[in-house]
Amino acid sequence: MILKTIKFIIFLFLSNSFGQNAELFDQGNKFYNEGKYFDAIEKYNVILKNGSHSEQLYYNLGNSYYKLNDIANSIYYFEKALVLSPGNEKVLNNLTFANNMLIDKIDSLPKNQVSLFINTILNLFSYTTWQYIFLLFEYLAAIFLVLYFISKRPKNKKKYFISALTFSLFFLLFLVAANITKSNYQNYNPAIIFDKQVDLRAEPNLRSDEISKLHEGTKLNIIESVNDWSLIELKNGNKGWLTTSSFRTIK
């Protein structure tokens, strides 16, 4: 009886929380459609403070900041949306518009066609989704393998064996995809610069040589951090040290 009561209370709490966030989201969308972008952002941020997030919420925040010409925040939230939904075309499209507004024009290192194709496939889903897919095929392979052993008819045994083998191959393929995606996610720590201008330096101190100047909205990857400095890498492969306070991590 006590356990049922606790479950019911949790259910009510989650239901109320979901209902409140849905109402806030609708209010934010209404403000956005009316051109009241600051008010829309305020509503969306309340949802984030409530502990909820989604690619659509980040996407709407990115659009709202873009309308206000706040490119750093716009790119930041578009990138956060892509973490949850890799390959999302509408997010990528709007991110392209935002990136065109940047002062720093940094080209990515060239990749061969095979690498581009593999990355395109891997970016279709997040690691979690790849994990669900390979688990599905693992269960299917196990089911047909059991059917193979318990079946008495040779014709059916052949079908079950071929099915089990096929699903096993798909399981291995998606397992590799999940592991690569997980590794890429763990080794990739992207961030967006929020300072108007910051110096990229050769060493983690203000006395070291200046490599270049970077501006707000520029995306980077954090390699390591030492005290108040971080070693970062840009899309073109250039590396250097930035003050950690000058950027915000995406993940």
Give the tens place of pLDDT for each residue, 22-57.
Answer: 899 999 999 999 999 999 999 999 999 998 889 999
Pair 134, 77 in one domain: no
pLDDT band at 9 (very low <50, low <70, confident <90, very high): very low
Q: How far are the Cα atoms of 70, 122, 222, 234 from residue 119, in angstroms, in the given order?
A: 30, 5, 20, 18
Of 27, 73, 65, 21, the closest CA to residue 47 belongs to 21
Pair 179, 221 in one domain: no
pLDDT band at 18 (very low <50, low <70, confident <90, very high): low
Domain span including residue 196: 190-249
Residue 104 counted as domain residue: no
Number of domains in the chain: 3
DSSP 1: -
Decide if 209 contacts 152 (C-beta within 8 A).
no
Task: Give pLDDT, residue 25.
Answer: 94
Least confident segment among 59-68, 111-120, 167-176, 215-224? 111-120
Pair 124, 158 in one domain: yes
The CATH number covering residue 210 comes to 2.30.30.40
Pair 142, 204 in one domain: no
Residue 82 counted as domain residue: yes
DSSP 218: -
d(CA 138, CA 109): 37
Task: Give pLDDT, residue 167.
Answer: 96
Q: What is the DSSP string of 16-69?
A: HHHHHHHHHHHHHHHHHHTT-HHHHHHHHHHHHHTT---HHHHHHHHHHHHHTT
Mean pLDDT, residues 148-154: 90
Pair 93, 120 in one domain: no
Pair 221, 208 in one domain: yes
Model-level pTM? 0.74
pLDDT reading at 148 higher than 50:
yes
Pair 84, 6 in one domain: yes
Task: Give pLDDT, residue 38.
Answer: 97
Pair 7, 94 in one domain: yes
Pair 152, 223 in one domain: no
Q: List for the chain the helix, strand, coil content (%; round to 5).
A: 60, 15, 25
Residue 64 counted as domain residue: yes
Q: Terminus-to-terminus CA distance in the chain, angstroms?
A: 41
Which of the pair, 198 or 14, is modelled with greater confidence?
198
Among 56, 73, 99, where does a domain finish? 99
